[in-house]
Amino acid sequence: MKTVLTILAAFCSVTICVAAQVADTIYHNGAIITVNDVAPTAEAVAVKDGRILAVGAKDEVLKTRGDDTQLINLGGKTMLPGFVDSHGHTYMIGLQASTANLLPPPDGTGKDIASLQKLLVDWAKQRKEVVKKVGWIAGFGYDNSQLAENRHPNKEDLDKVSTDLPVIIIHQSGHLGVGNSKALELAGITAETENPKGGVFQRKEGSKEPSGVCEEYAFFMLVGKLASNFDNPINDALVVEGAKLQASFGYTTAQEGRAMGAGLDAMERVADSGELPIDLVAYPDVLEVKDPKPSMEYKNGYRVGGVKLTIDGSPQGKTAWLTKPYFVPPPGQPKDYVGYAAIDEETTFAAVEKAYAHGWQILCHGNGDAASDRFIAAIRKAEAKHPDVDNRPVLIHGQVLREDQVDALRELRIFPSLFPMHTFYWGDYHRDSVLGPERAPNISPTGWVLKRGMMFGSHHDAPVALPDSMRILSATVTRKTRTGKVLGPEHKVPVATALKALTIWPAWQHFEEKTKGSIEVGKLADFVVLSENPLEIDEDKLANIKILETIKRGKSIYKRPAEGASISAPASFGITLDHTVDEHCDGHSIPGFKAVCGDGCFNHGLSVMLRAIESASSSGD
């Protein structure tokens, strides 16, 4: 009987299996990749009331057509299930979209310290009302490993931007940043200030004077002191614009992977207002939020999925916690420097135990292998005490996983949410400076995971990188660095498998595999339309595929504008943006701007966000 039911279920997933139901919409005449192993492709898909009514042969699906059914011709383009964010930070993406774009090429123009200074000065001149309201100048995305000087900017560099206003720049990793002299002064950071637990104030050589570079909890101290002017309208706008940006990359389910305080409140307010364009799952910091109230049920597109724990920092920032020393230690550190833990063992074990005791899903940020060791030990101890808890724990990043640790993940049923995009953005730097030629090829070891028959997620961790789904796909498949070298060929992944790591597997990670992640009857009508079929084009061209449209519950929520067309802001802001889509935007090369021009620039989020703040500022809200 079980076999018969299985066959019937498979049949229902590729045909109609409905009686006397009429579709609202039917999609046809395109390559439809279902990410369903039973029927990997289809000719047409019917949608009713936001769910998939039928999928399969066109003649069969057309039987659901009624007088009012809308037929949508895909025009030979490719449709897939909407992407599910395995790990990102929607609220922080909004912050990224609201500050000066300091990213290095190809996502920005921050190639040296002089260019960073100019970007900050130009941004402040263009946004005088914003600067007046928040009281500081901020930029996001600088990367010391990509700067011509091959170092972090210091407070003196930022003093050239302003000595009257605090200036803060955030490293692309999000784990460290730099303040000018005014920022340090206002935050009360002096030569006498001790390093906080889990953080470091970098000092000038031979002295205790802060250089301006702040790592981990030291950086959070700096930012926290200066963010007090972020009111509810600003925080809400960050959430909205972060979600809209992800939708422009084909995501229909997003994640805020470390929520707390004002951001957590803002997500709930935005959901209550009906402004969320996509589903958003939040994971409050387990050390900061005492009662996160996780739920499997969405309310207006929002829910709390579990809790987040952070054990260490960033490998490219050289704050991740390793078991073997960094290949080239950061300035001022000894040759045996291995980074450090952000929290101690007792805190880690207590947090994991708390999650298991309450049945909460726990996501753990662990980049270095020492951090992964600690999380694995904590899970092993908690699972022994709570053997019946099935909470699908997740290791986030696992950049420096050893092969024995992958065995432990499999044994303990820990889902690895990996970061293969590192092979492109920082692969050369990992090989030459962070980990060295022996360890670097095994960052985000997807090959070891697949060899053991495990699922995994491929994430963007935006705002660490753009939430660029096609860059993720490309990096997961090719593992090519910025210089075109393949880093760890044994970890290359077939395109079809990499698509699962963007869809059905992260849906499983979120306990949503029954409603999302593949195009099957009964699931949500969450789709993305691509300019090319990723299964058919050369793998070296995957990153160039454009997101043409994103569809959430059968409703189009994003369409890539035609070249030369102006982009209208959301109706809630009542603003028309002042730029157009052209070849410069396609190259991510508009100086000082972050535009969403259909393929991943940032100007849309920046302009809408900042003009919303300006509007609120001028109206006295």
Q: Quick one: pLDDT at residue 352?
A: 98
Peptide bond into 210 cis (omega under 30): no
Token reading at 192: 């006498």
Would strands 176-179 and 167-171 be described as parallel, antiparallel, or unpaired? antiparallel
What is the Cα–Cα distance from 113 to 513, expressed in whole angstroms?
46
Q: Quick one: pLDDT at residue 572?
A: 27
What is the Cα–Cα distance from 242 to 251, expressed in whole angstroms?
11
Provide the mean pLDDT of the chain.
87
Q: Quick one: pLDDT at residue 140?
A: 87
pLDDT by residue (tens digit) across 9-49? 444 444 444 446 999 999 999 999 999 999 999 999 999 99
Strand order in the sheet with 302-304: 83-84, 251-259, 279-284, 302-304
Q: Quick one: pLDDT at residue 259?
A: 93
pLDDT by residue (tens digit) across 137-190? 999 889 898 899 999 999 999 999 999 999 999 888 777 899 999 999 988 999
pTM of structure: 0.82
For the chain (621 residues), the mean pLDDT of every run of 10, in chain order, is 40 47 97 98 98 98 97 98 97 81 87 96 90 87 90 95 94 86 92 90 92 88 72 89 95 96 93 97 96 96 98 92 97 94 97 98 98 98 96 98 98 98 94 97 98 97 90 98 96 98 98 98 98 98 98 98 52 26 30 29 34 34 33
Specify whether the backbone of 158 is left (phi greater than 0), alpha (psi in -120 to 50) or beta.
alpha
| Domains located in the chain, CATH noted | 1-76+519-553 (2.30.40.10), 93-230+567-619 (3.10.310.70), 305-516 (3.20.20.140)
Helix or strand holding residue 403 (H, E) = helix 403-412
Q: Which residue has the tokens 């003196």?
A: 156
Q: Quick one: pLDDT at residue 229?
A: 65
Specify whether the backbone of 490 is left (phi greater than 0), alpha (psi in -120 to 50) or beta.
alpha
CA separation, residue 616 to residues 118, 129, 567, 573, 611 (Å): 27, 10, 22, 10, 8
Q: How many CB atoms lie within 10 A of CB 67?
A: 5
Token reading at 144: 């010391």
Strand order in the sheet with 176-179: 100-101, 137-142, 167-171, 176-179, 210-216, 199-203
CA separation, residue 585 to residues 197, 470, 543, 546 (Å): 42, 17, 15, 13
Q: How many CB atoms lie within 10 A of CB 332?
A: 13
Q: Which residue has the tokens 């990997």?
A: 40
